[in-house]
Structure 1
Amino acid sequence: MNDWLQDYALFFAQALTLLAMLAAIMVLINKGRGEGDDRAQLRIEELNLRQRKRVRRLKMAATEPQERKRQLKMLRRGDKQARKKKSDASSRGNVWVLDFQGDLKASGTSRLAEEISALLAVVAEGDEVVLRLESAGGLVHAYGLAAAQLDRLREAGVTTRICVDKVAASGGYMMACCADRLQVAPFAVLGSIGVVAQVPNVHRLLKRHDVDVEVLTAGRYKRTLTVLGENTEEGRDKFLADLEHTHELFKRHIAERRPSMDTEHLATGEIWYGREAVEKGLADEVMTSDAYLFSRMQDARVLSVRLETQKRLPERLGLSLSSGVERGVTRLLEAVDASRWLKR
């Protein structure tokens, strides 16, 4: 009997311990969900300094062991000259570098907006903002907002350059044309100035199985095309008219920001590679972002700016399953949409 009581007490204690641990984890998860973006930190890195450190290591590695002491003295002498050069460069302005990696929903827009707000408070005359942009486009309203954030720089009179090394198509190009100067890598993809919508319809399948779907609306065009209900010619015509209207707004947006470009002739949904894009007026010059930033390091301070947010506990524990599935579906859709140019 005593042995049974001891076993039961041990089991009860283990169960309580397990429950306490689960409760503690749930409290931490809920706390993590409740925390706001005030945990975000602004990371600033001087790219000139990073470049000098790398060059220094390479020079020392390439020097014979017996010559390294003399080489080190020369490098220290060079550091003094670099500090003087840095002081002179500061008087000629800074180059602020931002990055935007676009997805279907332009999820990085809020971060970009905060970075731009911070820069607008400190940029001075002679400064330049460089955005390294990569996006194959996505939702119209999402990329419209992202482009509006870049327009804030232009409206404030800040010199803005956008560098496209891989792709700025559709909504990505909507953002790219907001720059004072647009440069592209030789085989970067630009264009896709068009609007596309796909709506699957399973009405006939449901009808075949005697399933009725009632779509009730107030307003003639509240629903034009539906997934489950029966679509009409009037609905299709209205849907196409809406696409054409959106396309016209897209073309107007580009024409206002790149008036020298033949928007009507180029807004066909086609894509062009770097050199072709420059020849057709979609971009201004062929150059990679690395080459441009390296050249600016010779006469200015180049500062990378990025707002970083600490991941919440559910993400770190791998508990955000729904967001993981959503990201997977989004990436699949992006890959399908970009498949026409992401081939050799």
Structure 2
Amino acid sequence: MDLLSEYGLFLAKIATVVIAIAIIAAIIVNVAQRRKQQRGELRVTRLSEQYKEMQEEMAVSLLDPHQQKLWHKAQKKKHKQEAKAAKALAKQGKPAADGRARLYVIDFKGSMDAHEVASLREEVTAVLAVATPQDEVLVRLESPGGVVHGYGLAASQLQRLRERGIPLTVAVDKVAASGGYMMACVASHIVAAPFAIVGSIGVVAQIPNFNRLLKRNDIDVELHTAGQYKRTLTLFGENTEEGREKFREDLNDTHLLFKSFVKEMRPSLNIDEVATGEHWYGVQAKEKGLVDAISTSDDLILDKMKQREVVGVRYLRRKKMMDRFTGSAAESADRLMMRWWQRGEKPLL
């Protein structure tokens, strides 16, 4: 019995130590994951290699079984030789790449609040860390526009490439309107699909007013401000003609800034003709000088692959597992408030 008791006590001690180690390891892993979630993850994809693999797969599928067997044998030999050559270069401390210039591909699909600019700034920073003037950057842009400050910052991120002398091309397959075009015009070359929506160089803002409804129900709303124009139009208060006039003045000032920016980026444009708030399809936009060529991003990339190594750059912000399935209630509430704010006294591009 004493032996069994001692053995049981020994097992209990071992179990306690194991559990303690497991808890400490779980804490360390959890902290590491949280830090990684905050940092996000930069993903670099060699699009040239993906296309080459797809091309080879299609070519092989059209061969008869005997030819496929010979092809696979030849490829195995080729890969073995390439691996041997790369290993030899590595031993000499030389890069294994073929020395071709690169085309870095960034995707930007913008929403109204332009929160995607947080990833864009990381992607641009990553490209600037390694790019040379011989390299190029292609931004596949899709956005109907949104808040002024958000798209202003997004355009500024693309200007960082321009200021470093790195050729920048923007490809519009679907839409680059308003704030989206503010970003696109930074590029030295703009390509649009035939029916892509381009332009809409204008500013809009709207706000509902419930003052009369509240008055009918004997509900008073008090709004106190310090500064004559701290609030020009409100949701619940009684709006004045002076406030409306100031609101329109602010919209016009924003429009003038928008026009000046586009004119600076594309001096050849007849800005008064295109800055009416209208949008045009790709072919029409080319006639007006808003874009430089009619094509899709796919054809553009395939053409660039002939001379350049094409690399996709994407920065992903990690989400918690629970958020992936249920979504974040707080984020949803914030976005709902953002929509109301956007429709209020803050203008949209």
TM-score (norm 1): 0.81
The answer to whether the Cα contact below 8 Å between 2:181 and 2:198 also exists between their aligned partners in 1 is yes
Please give the secondary structure, in 2, of the residue aligned with 1:99. strand
Q: Which residue of 2 aligns with 1:99?
A: 107
Q: Which residue of 2 aligns with 1:4?
A: none
Q: How many residue pairs were aligned?
A: 305
Q: Does 1:46 align with 2:46?
A: yes
User: For residues 280 and 291 of structure 1, what CA distance do their matches in structure 2 show?
Assistant: 23
The answer to whether the Cα contact below 8 Å between 1:95 and 1:300 also exists between their aligned partners in 2 is yes
Say if 1:150 and 1:82 are closer, same or farther in 2 by CA, change over 3 A.
Answer: farther
Q: Deviations over 1:29-77 (max 9, x none)?
A: x979965754422111111110111111112221111221233356568
Q: Deviations over 1:256-276 (max 9, x none)?
A: 000001111111110100111
User: For residues 50 and 65 of structure 1, what CA distance do their matches in structure 2 show?
Assistant: 24
| Residue number among 201, 207, 210 corresponding to 1:199 in the alignment | 207
The Cα shift of 1:214 comes to 1.6
The Cα shift of 1:218 comes to 1.3
Q: Which residue of 2 aligns with 1:5?
A: none
Say if 1:78 and 1:294 are closer, same or farther in 2 by CA, change over 3 A.
Answer: farther
Percentage of matched positions with identical amino acids: 46
Please give the secondary structure, in 1, of the residue aligned with 2:157. helix
Q: Which residue of 2 aligns with 1:145?
A: 153
Say if 1:319 and 1:245 are closer, same or farther in 2 by CA, change over 3 A.
Answer: closer
Please report the RMSD computed on the Cα atoms of aligned residues, expressed in angstroms.
Answer: 3.1
Please give the secondary structure, in 2, of the residue aligned with 1:146. helix
The answer to whether the Cα contact below 8 Å between 1:182 and 1:285 also exists between their aligned partners in 2 is yes
The Cα shift of 1:321 comes to 2.2
Q: Which residue of 1 aligns with 2:311?
A: 303
Please give the secondary structure, in 2, of the residue aligned with 1:121. helix
The answer to whether the Cα contact below 8 Å between 1:92 and 1:126 also exists between their aligned partners in 2 is no
| Residue number among 109, 114, 122 corresponding to 1:114 in the alignment | 122
User: For residues 191 and 185 of structure 1, what CA distance do their matches in structure 2 show?
Assistant: 14
Q: Which residue of 1 aligns with 2:193?
A: 185
The answer to whether the Cα contact below 8 Å between 2:133 and 2:167 also exists between their aligned partners in 1 is no
User: For residues 284 and 237 of structure 1, what CA distance do their matches in structure 2 show?
Assistant: 38
Letter in 2 for 1:271: H
User: For residues 157 and 101 of structure 1, what CA distance do their matches in structure 2 show?
Assistant: 24
Q: Which residue of 1 aligns with 2:139?
A: 131
Please give the secondary structure, in 2, of the residue aligned with 1:91. coil
Letter in 2 for 1:163: A
The Cα shift of 1:312 comes to 1.7
Q: Which residue of 1 aligns with 2:227?
A: 219
> Is 284-293 or 67-76 further displaced after alignment?
67-76
Say if 1:61 and 1:328 are closer, same or farther in 2 by CA, change over 3 A.
Answer: farther
The Cα shift of 1:161 comes to 0.5
* Mapping for residues 184-333 of structure 1, pairs under 5 Å: 184-318=192-326, 320-324=328-332
Q: Does 1:70 align with 2:81?
A: no
The answer to whether the Cα contact below 8 Å between 1:56 and 1:75 also exists between their aligned partners in 2 is no
Letter in 1 for 2:211: H
Please give the secondary structure, in 2, of the residue aligned with 1:138. coil
The answer to whether the Cα contact below 8 Å between 1:102 and 1:134 also exists between their aligned partners in 2 is yes
User: For residues 206 and 337 of structure 2, what CA distance do their matches in structure 1 show?
Assistant: 15
The answer to whether the Cα contact below 8 Å between 1:277 and 1:283 also exists between their aligned partners in 2 is yes
Say if 1:81 and 1:226 are closer, same or farther in 2 by CA, change over 3 A.
Answer: farther
User: Unaligned 5+ residue runs, structure 2?
Assistant: 1-26, 86-94, 343-349
User: For residues 76 and 307 of structure 2, what CA distance do their matches in structure 1 show?
Assistant: 20
Please give the secondary structure, in 1, of the residue aligned with 2:171. strand
Letter in 2 for 1:126: Q
Say if 1:49 and 1:234 are closer, same or farther in 2 by CA, change over 3 A.
Answer: same
> Is 263-272 or 75-84 further displaced after alignment?
75-84
The answer to whether the Cα contact below 8 Å between 1:90 and 1:301 also exists between their aligned partners in 2 is no
Q: Does 1:170 align with 2:186?
A: no
User: Unaligned 5+ residue runs, structure 1?
Assistant: 1-26, 335-344
The Cα shift of 1:297 comes to 0.8
The answer to whether the Cα contact below 8 Å between 2:200 and 2:277 also exists between their aligned partners in 1 is yes
Letter in 2 for 1:49: E
Please give the secondary structure, in 1, of the residue aligned with 2:170. strand
Q: Deviations over 1:276-325 (max 9, x none)?
A: 10110001001110101001111110000111222124413526224246
Letter in 2 for 1:51: Y
The answer to whether the Cα contact below 8 Å between 1:32 and 1:314 also exists between their aligned partners in 2 is no
Say if 1:76 and 1:32 are closer, same or farther in 2 by CA, change over 3 A.
Answer: closer
